[in-house]
Chain A
Amino acid sequence: GENVEQHPSTLSVQEGDSAVIKCTYSDSASNYFPWYKQELGKRPQLIIDIRSNVGEKKDQRIAVTLNKTAKHFSLHITETQPEDSAVYFCAASRGSTNAGKSTFGDGTTLTVKP
């Protein structure tokens, strides 16, 4: 089955710096790669996603890149702010055969120091 590895598990940055979180996946048939943000005591919420026919996607301070050949994708947050502090999860899922199975990374706890 799919295996998703996420690094680092914790990340501390100074306000205004950039943060990068990386994930690798094992199933070459995976075609959808969302990133979720989970604040303390809250539910995970989508912040950005990318599909396998796209290499990069950007939404204001947040961007995601996908390298299908190497089977890895990354989340980039620029100009970090204290409210970016949260746990971030990557995930991989696939359509067609075994559609419906979603595998999440173990999460990255991001702390942005004012």
Chain B
Amino acid sequence: EAQVTQNPRYLITVTGKKLTVTCSQNMNHEYMSWYRQDPGLGLRQIYYSMNVEVTDKGDVPEGYKVSRKEKRNFPLILESPSPNQTSLYFCASNPGGPLFDQPQHFGDGTRLSIL
């Protein structure tokens, strides 16, 4: 089954303790992206990757890191999490291409609580 898999689904942690949220897709998609969703603010793009070893900042990249060492994986790293990063996070992928005109496939989300 074609899917985007995120882990963990839920995490409660404390300020300053480094954490990684993994994202994997099995559709051989070139493009992957991370979003955070906060009430009333829709989905805001954190980082995206057009292909392996190519990453770019979205609208809210501060406090986050990403890497794209292989096509299927796109982990989101919070080196020193703070309470304002408490949010619902979604990973997404799509085939990519020069027109970038394909829908994104979303994972089930990761709910992070930073105390």
Contact = CB atoms under 8 A, between A and B. Distances in A.
Contact of A93 (B59, B90, B100): B100
Nearest to A9: B40
Query: B interface, by DSSP: helix, strand, loop or mixed?
Result: loop
Given A44-B106, A104-B43, A99 B100 contact: yes
B106 A43 contact: yes
Given A89-B43, A101-B45, A43 B109 contact: yes
Contact of B103 (A49, A104, A106): A49
Given A101-B45, A103-B59, A104-B43, A34 B33 contact: no
Given A44-B43, A49-B103, A89-B42, A100 B50 contact: yes
A89 B90 CA distance: 14
B103 A34 contact: yes
B56 interface: yes
Nearest to A90: B42
Contacts, number: 72
A78 to B, nearest CB: 22
A104 B100 contact: no
Size bracket of the B interface: 20 to 34
A102 interface: yes
B40 A106 contact: yes
A91 B59 CA distance: 14
Interface string A22-35: 00000000011010
A107 B38 CA distance: 11
Contacts of A105: 42
A101 B58 contact: yes
A104 B44 contact: yes
B99 interface: yes
A106 B42 contact: yes
B31 interface: yes
B101 A51 contact: yes
Interface of B: 31, 33, 35, 40-45, 48-50, 56, 58-59, 90, 97-104, 106-109
Interface of A: 1, 6, 9, 31-32, 34, 42-46, 49, 51, 89, 91, 93-96, 99-107
